[in-house]
Amino acid sequence: MKKTMLFILIISLLPYSLAIGQQEQAEEKPDPMKNFSLVDETQPVTEKLKVGFESITGNDAVTYLKFISDDLLEGRDTASDGYDIAALYAATMFELWGIKPAGDMERPRMDFRRMMMQGGKPPAQGKRGYFQNITFLETLGSEGQATVTWQKGLMKKKKSFSSEMDYTYMASGTQSITAPVVFVGYGIQESSLKFDEYKNIDVKGKFVMMLSEAPGKGDPESPFNKGELKEKYYPERRPMMRRRRSTSPKFKVPTDMGAEAVLLIENSPEENGDVPRQYLNAQRINDERPIYPGTRRRISFVDNIGRSMFGDSIPTIRISRKMANDILGMLDQNVESLKEKIEETITSHSMVLSGVTLTVENKTETKLVNSMNVLGYIEGSDPELKNEAVVIGAHLDHLGRRGDYIFNGADDDGSGSVGVMEIAEAFAKNPVKPKRSIVFALWTGEEKGLLGSRYYVAHPFIEKTAANLNLDMISREYDKETLARMSRRFGVEVGKEVLEKIDAKKFVSFSFDANTPAIDEIMRKNNNHVGLHLRITGSKEATGGSDHAPFGQAKIPWAFFIAAMTEDYHQPSDSVDKVSPELMEKIIRLAYLAAFDLADK
């Protein structure tokens, strides 16, 4: 009897437990719209922001853009006349709108006749200007060679290598490095696998030879291809733009350990081409694209002090597989067998190459050149908080010209630059000012390695930066095809049902500092006044390879707007006739509203 009762009880409870299970499953299923803010019906902005908001128009933005992306400015290369004209143009507009200068104090002109008339008193301190001047080093040409020696007692071996064939090294000055060599496998420290290739190895003052990537490439069974480790070492979706070397642990660890330089071996030369092939590829004629004569100008910070001040990593020398084997061969080792052992055992096979010394010599012809960030500001209305600033920035420089080819850079990043100008005008015209101050910044040197924004982070106009808003490439619309492609290629998992809801023409990727969730709320709230279809991505690291990265590295909350990445990216075809005034207007207006909230909260 008892058994029957129990059986009846279980049968009668079954539907409930099934229902509960289903409910939990429904609860767990992530909301596909979680990272989107798709707004079509907009609400009017509050009265206090209206004047500024309405002063922002796509037509004005395109008018300014026509000027700075004109052939006359020859692609605004860093430290070129074209860039200087664009900078002067922006500074003039700032002055016109009553935006205060936030650049360097101008050096007073030494007028001896006037000085004598004033009894020899030197003229008063000059007034502040809109330019933050930076002296850079331009490398005009370089040649180099490397020599490895092995000595044990009287026995000696020696081999020489030439730059651009056996190795490539973008040295920023004449220098020579002589040091012992250590091999550290992939140079990985992965505590979850108890795998530390630096354990018991002293790399201080030495060359650190390592393979790129990680063990287990293409091997689904490898722990590096599973779960979180896969996302870390072999992410499905490559980030939008390359990550800066200085923040990648691969280069940060040897830098922090005081190594001299990294000797980087291509992990999969068959896929990416070894040093010689990369060199030849660069020479190969590409039918789809014109051959651009000459090479890009190499501009960097003046000296290695720059490296420590701006958190640069130690030099990286890309060496060919053959050069690596010639060096390891001095001790009867080679890359293939060491790699195999590491892959099989996931244990360290790092070693100091005893008796081996490598010398890398580089002669470079250099000269000093000047460029400038363009900086203006409005003062905050709060007596305390005005000593903090929200920095709104975009890079004004682009790739310049190569022979007859001018890289106008209308989208990259002429669009962001005129965006910053429009927002400056809006804040100048809007009667109500936020509590914190706002700095409007046009960076130089972005294409050369984020030089201008990195310089500003080390030399801020207002000591405390509360947040950074970065606009880079905000003028090109997606279409259905590019949107679908973007969702596959650029780290955006967009399900079919979501894709159907998105209006490609209004689609923009917005990423922000996940350590400051308030930015997400501010963006969603203000998008109700603008009507974009936003993809909102929080990230703990300032990925994306643009000018918000130095702020993120300095632990300053950041946010980054970018619209469609097109075939014209870094091509002479990136011209003003292709931009969308409608899209620009919306993005610039949203950035204005968000900046106000960030500065007023």
Smallest distance, Zn ion to C-beta of residue 85, A = 19
Nearer to Zn ion, 437 or 475 (CB): 475
Q: Are 367 and 140 in contact (CB under 8 A)?
A: yes
Q: Are 246 and 290 in contact (CB under 8 A)?
A: no
Smallest distance, Zn ion to C-beta of residue 546, A = 6
Binding segment for Zn ion (CB under 5 A), chosen from 28-36, 297-305, 407-415, 548-556, is 407-415
Smallest distance, Zn ion to C-beta of residue 416, A = 7
Contact set for Zn ion, span 131-170 (CB under 5 A): none
Which amino acid is it at 374? V
**Type and span of the H or E element at 338:** helix 335-345
Binding segment for Zn ion (CB under 5 A), chosen from 273-281, 371-379, 405-413, 474-482, is 405-413
**Type and span of the H or E element at 26:** helix 2-28
Q: Which residue has the tokens 């990195």?
A: 454
Q: Are 275 and 168 in contact (CB under 8 A)?
A: yes
Nearer to Zn ion, 274 or 411 (CB): 411
- DSSP-assigned letter for residue 450: S
Nearer to Zn ion, 436 or 454 (CB): 454
Contact set for Zn ion, span 449-478 (CB under 5 A): 472
Nearer to Zn ion, 465 or 470 (CB): 470
- Determine the size of the site formed for Zn ion (CB under 5 A): 3
Task: Decide if residue 77 touches Zn ion (CB under 5 A).
Answer: no
Task: Decide if residue 413 touches Zn ion (CB under 5 A).
Answer: yes
> Residues 197, 274, 412, 422: which binds Zn ion (CB under 5 A)?
412
Smallest distance, Zn ion to C-beta of residue 101, A = 25
Which amino acid is it at 93? M
Smallest distance, Zn ion to C-beta of residue 472, A = 4
Nearer to Zn ion, 104 or 412 (CB): 412
Smallest distance, Zn ion to C-beta of residue 131, A = 21
Phi, psi of 141 (to 5 degrees): -165, 155
**Type and span of the H or E element at 307:** helix 304-309
Q: Collect all residues with Cβ–Cβ distance below 8 Å to 382 and sequence separation of at least 6.
A: 435, 436
Cβ atoms within 10 Å, residue 377:
24
Smallest distance, Zn ion to C-beta of residue 197, A = 35
Binding segment for Zn ion (CB under 5 A), chosen from 28-36, 108-116, 134-142, 408-416, is 408-416
Q: Are 37 and 534 in contact (CB under 8 A)?
A: yes
Task: Decide if residue 547 touches Zn ion (CB under 5 A).
Answer: no
Closest CA to 391 of 429, 437, 354: 437
Q: Are 389 and 467 in contact (CB under 8 A)?
A: no
Nearer to Zn ion, 472 or 477 (CB): 472
Smallest distance, Zn ion to C-beta of residue 283, A = 26
Nearer to Zn ion, 73 or 262 (CB): 73
Contact set for Zn ion, span 471-530 (CB under 5 A): 472
Any bridge partners for residue 136, and if so which? 301, 369
Q: Which residue has the tokens 């301190």?
A: 125
Q: Are 202 and 379 in contact (CB under 8 A)?
A: no
Q: Are 530 and 593 in contact (CB under 8 A)?
A: yes
CA-to-CA separations, 537 to 36, 144, 351, 434, in angstroms, rounded: 9, 44, 41, 26
Nearer to Zn ion, 274 or 472 (CB): 472
Smallest distance, Zn ion to C-beta of residue 388, A = 27
Nearer to Zn ion, 427 or 560 (CB): 560
Sites of contact with Zn ion (CB under 5 A): 412-413, 472
